[in-house]
Amino acid sequence: MRLADYFDDVAAQHPQRLAFVDGTRRINFAEAQAYVHAVATALTRARQSGSGTHVAIYAPNDHRVSLLHLGINLADMAWVSVHVRNSIETNAEILDYFDTDIVVFHSCFESSVPKLKAKLSKAKLYICMDRASEHGQSLEDWLAGCRTVFRNDREDPGLASFFQPTGGTTGPSKGAVHTHRTLEMMGLAMSSAFGITPDSRHLVIAPLTHGAGALVLGFAARGAANIILPGFDVEAILSSIGKEKISHLFLPPTAVYGLMAHPKTKQTDFSPLKYFMVGSAPIAPEKFKEAVGLFGPVVYEMFGQSETLIPIVVKGPSDYLKRDGSFDEGVVRAAGKAVDMVRIGIMDDQGKLLAAGERGEIVVRSSMVMVGYYKKPADTAEVSKFGWHHTSDVGVLDSRGFLTIIDRKKDMIVSGGFNIYPVEIENVIQSHPSVLDCIVVGVPDEKWGEAVKAVVQLKPGQIVSEDHIIGMCKDQLGSAKAPKSVEFWDELPRSAVGKLLKKDVRAKFWGDRWRAV
């Protein structure tokens, strides 16, 4: 079934139940359903005129993003995940790679639309979410005449419904293709792992146009309410927990650290909170224990990927707390255990599954795993070899089934939950006429988990400032991918044949830490 079908069932049975809160707006399931059906109708009409298969939404957090996602899902179309913190050039490349047909944009991004129009070869329809624009009609006008009940009796769980960019080391981003089936299994796994019920109230802070969009649909499909905030604002979060009786909250580790550091946090009553979900990047074990001490035994760590959706591994209070209330230190360091309907293994390079305690690549089997990378059959075959999905993360399973992630095979940095591929940054830095060569790595950082660091070797006699390198990267790639710091070395480490030794640079900053991510 589609997630939109589950949503429809809830709306039919409980039309007055609260579905979304967005600022002063409170939308019940009946109101949300009417909007979703209008979106599906309008999209189907657009497809009949030759467009309307892949839809991208370029907007800040707004309840209409989720209603659009549900309408796209109901109409058997696919939405393209967009992270608005990317540079417009990066997003234009991603949306073109995904053959985007329709772009719905918020007026706050109106100045970016000409760059999208210049790049997107297939897109024929642009719609402004909140008002009319010179670049497209308003969403309300587009939906006019479509306020009808939309029926879709077709059932094809293998249809593509969601494209999630994963990043790529060269060229355009790879993209995970998810179907109605993978999204449905994600919803079931979420409900099982995090106790989602129709009485749940989920506080949404992460970007809806990106990964949080699928998370929200998992809650909506169960009849839970989603309370949407514009972004990370500690005082708004603390106020909402009490005012809206928030039961579920998801944050990446860097936001958890910011929440814990705020002086008002210790004065807040967190008794409504039942599931504080932490993910997108590993959380430092000491910080995890501090969070449990502050928020109570409601903290859950989860692990997943764009290719697998979330969660595939979870650890909860019954895992990391002993009967006497003390912490099980081994579990605190672990990411958790495989959730229902997921198998986790550790594999060597020859495809052999390894025994407990042996280090190797983390591999996954589940109906939540993507069907493949969009238009990249060779990459799909490589990541799916030996019949398992290969995560490119290195880990160990203990005798109890707990997974500990200790390193990364891929040349990737995860900073504040944001996937960053060093080669993009290295290409920008190497374009500077004074730079001979450079290596970009992730280094330990208390706030971000990993911070982007550039190590640069200049040409003889050249001088360039750290601020100049960082500013150049910000201009071309956006602030999220720009280095947090730059070091200038006289010589970068190289092999006997002259190849740059990135592992040697990483080792200098990670030292003898028990994990290198």
What pLDDT score was predicted for residue 506? 87
What pLDDT score was predicted for residue 382? 95
3-231 — its CATH code?
3.40.50.12780
**Topology, domain 413-510:** GMP Synthetase; Chain A, domain 3 (3.30.300)
Residue whose tokens read 């293998």: 158
Q: Which distant-in-sequence residues (6+ apart) come within 8 Å of 373 by Cβ? A: 166, 174, 175, 176, 177, 379, 380, 383
List Cα–Cα distances, 253 to 158, 219, 226, in angstroms: 34, 22, 21
Q: How many CB atoms lie under 10 A from the CB of residue 401? A: 14
491 residue type, one letter: E
Structure tokens that stand for 403 in this block: 């997974």
List Cα–Cα distances, 444 to 153, 336, 411, 509, 512, in angstroms: 51, 22, 15, 7, 12
DSSP string, 79-93: EEP--TTS-HHHHHH
Structure tokens that stand for 233 in this block: 């604002």
Rounded to whole angstroms, the Cα distance separating 318 from 402 reads 13
Pairing of strands 309-315, 337-338: antiparallel
Helix axes 212-220, 180-194, angle to 10 degrees: 70
Alpha helices for 17-132 (secondary structure H): 29-48, 63-74, 88-97, 113-119
CA 378 to chain centre: 24
Rounded to whole angstroms, the Cα distance separating 120 from 122 reads 6
Residue whose tokens read 């997943």: 304
- Return the SS3 of 230: coil
356-383 pLDDT tens trace: 999 899 999 999 999 999 999 999 999 9
What pLDDT score was predicted for residue 514? 57
Q: Which distant-in-sequence residues (6+ apart) come within 8 Å of 98 by Cβ? A: 54, 56, 80, 163, 165, 175, 374
492 residue type, one letter: L
Alpha helices for 336-391 (secondary structure H): 377-383
Q: Which distant-in-sequence residues (6+ apart) come within 8 Å of 331 by Cβ? A: 315, 319, 320, 402
Q: CATH 3.30.300.30: which residues of the chain? A: 413-510
Alpha helices for 303-405 (secondary structure H): 317-320, 329-333, 377-383
What pLDDT score was predicted for residue 168? 44
299-408 — its CATH code?
2.30.38.10
What pLDDT score was predicted for residue 171? 44
What pLDDT score was predicted for residue 169? 36
471-502 pLDDT tens trace: 999 998 888 889 999 999 998 887 665 667 88
List Cα–Cα distances, 76 to 36, 47, 68, 211, in angstroms: 13, 11, 12, 19
Task: State the DSSP H helix or E strand holding residue 205, giving kind and residue range, or none if neither.
Answer: none
What region does 309 belong to: left with phi over 0, alpha with psi -120 to 50, or beta?
left
Structure tokens that stand for 70 in this block: 């549900």
List Cα–Cα distances, 146 to 40, 43, 407, in angstroms: 9, 10, 51
Half-sphere exposure of 508 (CA within 13 A, CB side): 13
DSSP secondary structure letter of residue 133: B
323 residue type, one letter: R
CB-CB contact of 39 with 10 (8 Å): no
Instruction: For CA atoms 85, 88, 93, 94, give the dihedral sign.
Output: positive
Alpha helices for 172-246 (secondary structure H): 180-194, 212-220, 234-243
What pLDDT score was predicted for residue 255? 86
Task: State the 10-residue block means of pLDDT for the chain, 517 residues long.
Answer: 96 97 97 98 82 89 98 96 89 94 96 95 94 96 94 89 73 83 96 96 95 93 97 95 97 87 92 95 85 96 94 97 95 94 95 95 97 96 97 93 84 78 82 89 88 92 95 91 94 73 87 66
Please give the span between the terminal C-alpha atoms of the chain, in angstroms, as a whole number: 37
Q: CATH 3.40.50.12780: which residues of the chain? A: 3-231
Q: CATH 2.30.38.10: which residues of the chain? A: 299-408
Rounded to whole angstroms, the Cα distance separating 83 from 213 reads 11
**Among 135, 123, 127, which Cα is nearest to 71's?**
127
Q: Is the peptide bond before 311 cis (omega within 30 degrees of 0)?
A: yes
> Rounded to the nearest 5°, which phi and psi values hold at 467?
-60, -35
